[in-house]
Amino acid sequence: MEMTQIPVIDQFRGEYAFLSNFYSSPLTVEDVTYPTVEHAFQAAKCYDSDQMAVIASAATPKSAKALGRMVGLREDWEDVKVAVMANLLELKFTTYPHLARQLRHTGEAELIEGNWWHDQFWGNCQCQHHRLVPGHNQLGTLLMARRELL
């Protein structure tokens, strides 16, 4: 009996770059337009509208991420961050139907946010140190859940 192996997409680059939070997909949240999910997610870490505006205008998702590390975190952040990400992904894939089609076309593939920057919460770091201990892959899990709903 032959076992079929579930395909794995473990890099959100190239043809799968659209899965990345860094992918250009402007979203409007509470009358503020963010260039990427990453911008919107980082801004959601705080309630200060000035800080949120600075993050929204960051030149790149990488700089938005760096700015998000400097804001005063809202008190409930650890409790709500996964739900915030899920809501932003829902907004991304409802705002851009062509991206929803691309997500559906990943089929049954396991989606893993493979990285080298030691993120074991949202993804699965591929570095030598983390290779033996899989990450939580929250982003991949949320993307697969969104795909199921499509």
CA dihedral angle for residue 43, residue 104, residue 141, residue 57, rounded to 10 degrees: -10
Fold annotation for 8-149: Tetracycline Repressor; domain 2 (1.10.357)
What is the reported pTM? Answer: 0.92
32 pairs with which residues across the strands? 29
d(CA 115, CA 91): 24
- Residuewise pLDDT in 10s, the chain (150 residues): 566 688 999 999 999 999 999 999 999 999 999 999 999 999 999 999 999 999 999 999 999 999 999 999 999 999 999 999 999 999 999 999 999 999 999 999 999 999 888 888 999 988 777 666 677 899 999 999 999 999
d(CA 36, CA 47): 19
Locate the domains of the chain by residue range. Answer: 8-149
